[in-house]
Amino acid sequence: MKALIYKNNNIELVEKPYPQILNSRDAIVKVTLSSICTSDLHIKHGFVPFAKEGVTLGHEFVGEIVELGSEVKNLRVGDRVSANCETFCGECYFCKRGFINNCEHGGWELGCKIDGCQAEYVRVPFADTGLTKIPDSLSYENALFVGDILSSGYFGAEMLGEAETVAVIGAGPVGLCAMMSAKVLGAKKIIAIDINSSRLNIAREQKLADYVFNPMECDIEQEIMNLTDNRGADGVIEAAGGENTFELAWKIARPNSVVALVAMYENNQVLPLPDMYGKNLIFKTGGVDAVHCKKLLDFISEGKMNTDFLITHSFDFKDIIRAYDFFEKEKDACLKIGIK
């Protein structure tokens, strides 16, 4: 079968053998729809030191189970499933506490340390925890982002706890999912911040944000203070990972609030403790614990969430190298690509 691999800080389409069941909790899944994630680009550019040379990329997908290991009891061959971007055993110290990103036997494996979904078929370890059955009422498109970017956005919103006014820095796919999640979790006012006006327009059109601000056009700190009686936002989700976005995040947070960092930074960030003394902030950092896939699928079924608009473009798998270029350069205002 054809597979897209990471090689020499680049990508290449090669021929690989079909995956086989190796362990009793494995499943083989026929990939019916997948996407490209910014993390794939991080690997491509060599920013993920533990990514394995020659690995098939991709961890964001839905598909149909074609083969199951003997110990997987909660799934059947033929089930339509949404995949979790994290591989987790469900039994170790961290898994038992919900911190599946730190699973002692897993973590970010698919498309990084072991072959991922940018191929015809993929082997999924710990399939009984890592795959969630898609309800009959939902299409593959409806469920595509549940196990990765929607989980990441939800993770960010959940880290804030109760927050009435939530500022989200970055209106890219994860930022938009964070806004959607903050609303479901009870935020009353959502503020979207991005330097890309077309993404801000999407946030507004999709009714995910009540206010949108572009730092190129206004003073963000001032705008946030105006909206919050000079207190600052009750919670900030940093989903941009840009040059000054970490600094902006703590500056617009009100004292005693949570700043949730879901962005994947490529460089170190500075924590100027003397400047923020007395603000009493709580910083929470993320590698998503994607433990709410079932709940997110239910939210989508109930019409409380919808991520369909994120698929702005579609490509055939054979054109995946062109799709990477398209996604990376954000051509034609591309948000996410569906690959069939």
Q: What span, in angstroms and rounded, lies between the C-alpha atoms of 269 and 148?
A: 24
In whole angstroms, the minimum distance from the beta carbon of 48 to Zn ion comes to: 11
Read off the tokens for 70.
């003997």
Element of type H or E holding 294: helix 293-301
* C-alpha distances out from residue 304 to 167, 295, 312, Å: 20, 11, 21
Residue 271 Cα to chain centre, angstroms: 25
Task: Supply the minimum distance, in Å, between the C-beta of residue 237 and Zn ion.
Answer: 16
Q: Residue 106 Cβ, how far from Zn ion at the closest point, in Å? A: 6
With respect to Zn ion, which residue has the nearer C-beta, 26 or 148? 148
Q: How far is the CB of 104 from Zn ion (least distance, A)?
A: 5
Comparison of 43 and 281: residue with beta carbon closer to Zn ion: 43
Cβ proximity to Zn ion: between 45 and 207 the closer is 45
Q: C-beta of 160: minimal distance to Zn ion in Å? A: 21
Q: By the 8 A CB rule, do 213 and 197 touch?
A: no
Q: How far is the CB of 101 from Zn ion (least distance, A)?
A: 10
How close are the terminal C-alpha atoms of the chain, in Å?
14
Task: Specify the residue, 39 or 245, whose C-beta has the smaller distance to Zn ion.
Answer: 39
Closer of 87 and 228 to Zn ion (Cβ): 87
Rg (alpha carbons) of the chain, rounded to whole number? 20
In the bound state with Zn ion, the residue whose beta carbon lies nearer, of 48 and 68, is: 48
The continuous run of DSSP H or E covering 234 comes out as strand 233-238
SS3 91: coil
Diameter of the chain measured on Cα atoms: 61
Which residues sit at the interface with Zn ion, rule CB under 5 A? 37, 39, 88-89, 92, 95, 103, 148
User: CB-wise, 39 or 142, nearer to Zn ion?
Assistant: 39
Nearer of residues 152 and 228 to Zn ion, judged by Cβ: 152
Give least dist CB 255 to Zn ion, A: 33
Residues near 316 by beta carbon (within 8 Å), at least 6 away in sequence = 339, 340
d(CA 12, CA 316): 16
Min CB(24)–Zn ion separation in Å: 16
How far apart are alpha carbons 276 and 297 in whole angstroms?
A: 39
Give CA 68 to chain center in angstroms: 26
